[in-house]
């Protein structure tokens, strides 16, 4: 392959599908892998349990990028993810290693693969401070007034995405829902997409087990420690379906059982959105035999080797 088309392996799949385990298994087999995270929550420092980051020991042994670097008060956009990911792909390839993207934030991945509109914009901290003072219902009304199509797609409660859409509009004076410019390239041979697939019933079971494990590991105490560091809501790191119910529990707005159920419900809704995105992508899907991710890693390893050697 030429310098411009060096391969990038992408391990995709819904939340709780086993992407991290598969990526580690592949890294151990290839031995020249660096992992680029495409997870919108794993970027935050101090939050490890709810984000399911790979253990520190693994990250010290296998290089990981775009994990554990951002202050919980800061925001991270698809625009910034794509810019940093493309830079990392070049650097990793120059080191003679295989870049492996791992993640389930499908909007980030779609932006990576297809590019972004010519009017994509970096974050503007001063504008963000103004928008973050506005109540969520008012943000929604403002977006409806300038881009009703985008507002309907985001919904009335997704504060993070409402702010981002308004930010793009105010910085570019273009509607976020406008179509991409014709210059944006479609799929290229640079990306090899591998996905992990489970039955709906098994995935629900894995999600419930993961939520219970989060609480056993101490997600409540993790958020308490964040509060003790001076981080209080509303902050971007806690504005999501995983951490918001924990905050509600700590602030007395719900029971522990309700918090768990809210995380499960939010995760299942998120998985539906993920799969809607993934269905549009040319993914080669693999289903773990009897739930055995070690066997899956071996199967995917041979598939990827054939592709790379044949490419």
User: How far apart are the C-alpha atoms of 82 and 99, rounded to whole Å?
Assistant: 14
Q: Is 15 known as a binding-site position?
A: yes
What the block records as the tokens of 21 is 């385990």
CB atoms within 10 A of CB 306: 10
- Beta-carbon contacts of residue 70 (< 8 Å; ≥ 6 apart): 43, 44, 45, 76
239 neighbors 72 (Cβ within 8 angstroms): no
Strand ranges across the sheet with 33-37: 64-65, 33-37, 98-102, 8-12, 191-196, 284-286
Q: Is 13 known as a binding-site position?
A: yes
156 neighbors 148 (Cβ within 8 angstroms): no
Q: Is 14 known as a binding-site position?
A: yes
> Residue 70 carries which DSSP code?
B
CA distances from residue 305 to 7, 24, 300, 301 in whole angstroms, order as listed: 11, 16, 9, 6
Element of type H or E holding 285: strand 284-286
Q: What angle do CA 17, 23, 27 make, to 5 degrees?
A: 165
Q: For the residues of 128-166, what is the DSSP string, one character each?
A: HHHHTTS-HHHHHHHHHHH-HHHHHHH-SS-HHHHHHHH
Q: Is 280 known as a binding-site position?
A: no
177 three-state secondary structure: coil
283 three-state secondary structure: coil
User: How far apart are the C-alpha atoms of 299 and 289, rounded to whole Å?
Assistant: 10
191 neighbors 198 (Cβ within 8 angstroms): no
Q: Is 138 known as a binding-site position?
A: no
Output the known binding site.
Answer: 13-20
Output the known binding site for ATP.
Answer: 13-20
Output the known binding site for substrate.
Answer: 15-20
């Amino acid at each position: 392959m030429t310098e411009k088309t060096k391969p990038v392996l992408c391990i995709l799949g819904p939340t709780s599908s086993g992407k991290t385990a598969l990526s580690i298994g592949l890294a151990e087999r290839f031995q020249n892998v660096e992992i680029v995270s495409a997870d919108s929550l794993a970027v935050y420092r101090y939050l490890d349990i709810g984000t399911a980051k790979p253990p520190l020991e693994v990250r010290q042994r296998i290089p990981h990028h775009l994990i554990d670097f951002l202050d919980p008060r800061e925001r991270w956009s698809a625009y910034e993810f794509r810019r940093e990911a493309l830079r990392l792909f070049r650097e990793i390839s120059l080191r003679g290693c295989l870049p492996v993207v791992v993640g389930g934030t499908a909007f980030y991945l779609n932006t990576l693969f297809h590019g972004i509109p010519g009017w994509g914009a970096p974050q503007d901290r001063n504008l963000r401070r103004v928008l973050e003072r506005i109540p969520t219902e008012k943000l929604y009304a403002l977006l409806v007034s300038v881009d009703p199509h985008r507002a309907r797609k985001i919904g009335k409660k997704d504060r993070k995405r409402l702010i981002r859409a308004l930010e793009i509009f105010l910085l570019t004076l273009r509607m976020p829902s406008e179509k991409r410019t014709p210059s944006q390239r479609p799929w290229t041979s640079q990306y090899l997409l591998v996905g992990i697939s489970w039955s709906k019933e098994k995935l629900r079971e894995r999600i419930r087990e993961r939520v219970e494990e989060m609480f056993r590991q101490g997600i409540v105490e993790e958020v308490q420690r964040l509060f003790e560091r001076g981080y209080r809501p509303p902050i971007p790191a806690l504005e999501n379906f995983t951490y918001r119910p924990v905050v509600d529990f700590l602030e007395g707005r719900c029971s522990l059982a309700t918090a768990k159920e809210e995380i499960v419900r939010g995760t299942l809704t998120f998985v539906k959105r993920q799969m809607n995105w993934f269905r549009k992508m040319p993914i080669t899907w693999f289903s773990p035999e009897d739930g055995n991710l070690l066997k899956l890693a071996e199967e995917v390893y041979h598939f990827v080797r054939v592709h790379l050697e044949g490419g």
